[in-house]
Copies of this chain bind each other. A is one copy, B any other.
Amino acid sequence: MSTVAFIGLGNMGGPMAANLIKAGFTVKVFDLVPAAMQTLAEQGALTANSACGAAAGADIVITMLPAGKHVRSLYVGDDNAKGLIDVVAAGTLLIDCSTIDADSARFVAKHAAEKELAFIDAPVSGGTAGAAAGTLTFICGGSDSAFEQAQGVLNAMGGNIFHAGAAGAGQVAKICNNMLLSVLMVATSESLQMGIDHGLDPQILSDIMKVSSGGNWTLDKYNPCPGVMESVPSSNGYQGGFMVDLMVKDLGLSQEAALLSNSSTPMGALARSLYVNHAKQGNGKRDFSSIFEQFAHSEQIKK
């Protein structure tokens, strides 16, 4: 089995690395937080003193970082430090699982290609639950051969693995999807609440729209109206799930992408404004389906 360097052991990266260990990979980890490394070491990981230390000698490097600037500087380096692409062996496969702007992904891919290294942008969806269960979805951008090469290691961490296109396409597809998701959530919320305002039972209205032309993922899996669906955040005080702050981040990336390509996204742009205001009102750490409360009457919310 190959040796994998895993850099970035947060809520997502930690369980992903653990699944690689379970699948039999030799995993060498690095994180700025020592305790995060310690947790993985107890599960069988080797630890390194630096990102470059972890990557040197690995067959595959996987990174899971907060934003584009971290990915750029880690891979390509700067005036003060070498980048990963300067230290890995020829033939090393580079996989970045962070959700970042497409431009940064293309920037790293271009610099990697100059050193004849294969780079894949492979943002994930499925959240911390999917990371732990090994059922993440990966949406990849990069060459066909690199995508083929990545199958084994990605399969150890997830279920669906998509090839969206060339470098950066994984990031673009993910934010197109998440922008669309945000609109589905807002529009489903306002439609359900309008029904409630007219005396309809949200359970019945959901059942009808789910199998009609209003059908969408939020009605199937993630109903935002409290009490309609068990085991979703809306029936648990909007705790857990996918945080509003993270949706605001993804909607920021989507609007950044729209500016770059001169695209018009009226619904996505409106969703961003509504989510930013929702976050400013103190809902940043709650699940993103809590946008439903923007439409509900105050007496509903108090219940």
A200→B261 CA distance, assembly (Å): 12
Contact A197 B263 (CB under 8 A): yes
Any B CB within 8 A of the CB of A178: yes
Q: How many residues of A contact B (CB 8 A)?
A: 84
- B-contact bits for A51-64, CB 8 A (1 contact / 0 none): 00000000000000
In contact, B214 and A295 (Cβ under 8 angstroms):
no
Interface string of A273-298 (1 = CB under 8 A from B): 11011001110000000000011111
Contact with B along A254-281 (1 / 0, CB 8 A): 1111111111111111111110110011
Does any Cβ of B come within 8 Å of A198's Cβ?
yes
- From A12-20, A183-191, A230-238, the one touching the partner chain is A183-191
The segment from A66-74, A108-116, A157-165 found at the interface with B is A157-165
B178 and A195 form a contact (CB under 8 A): no
Known: A178-B214, A213-B125, A282-B298. Contact between A259 and B255, CB under 8 A? Answer: yes
- Among A3-11, A91-99, A169-177, the stretch in contact with B: A169-177
User: Shortest CB–CB separation between residue A289 and chain B, in angstroms?
Assistant: 11
Q: Which residues of B contact A211 (CB under 8 A)?
A: 160
A76, CB-defined interface residue at 8 Å: no
Give me 15 A-to-B residue pairs in the complex whose CB atoms sit less than 8 angstroms apart, sorted by A's number: A162-B204, A165-B200, A165-B201, A172-B195, A176-B192, A177-B214, A180-B214, A184-B187, A184-B214, A190-B267, A194-B258, A194-B261, A216-B216, A269-B270, A280-B295
Known contacts A173-B204, A179-B194, A267-B267; 14 further A-B pairs (Cβ under 8 A): A165-B201, A173-B205, A176-B205, A176-B209, A177-B213, A190-B268, A191-B265, A194-B263, A194-B265, A198-B257, A264-B280, A264-B294, A270-B270, A277-B295
Q: Which residues of A contact B (CB under 8 A)?
A: 102, 125, 137, 139, 160, 162-166, 168-169, 172-173, 176-181, 183-184, 186-188, 190-195, 197-201, 204-205, 207-209, 211-217, 220-222, 248, 252, 254-274, 276-277, 280-282, 294-298
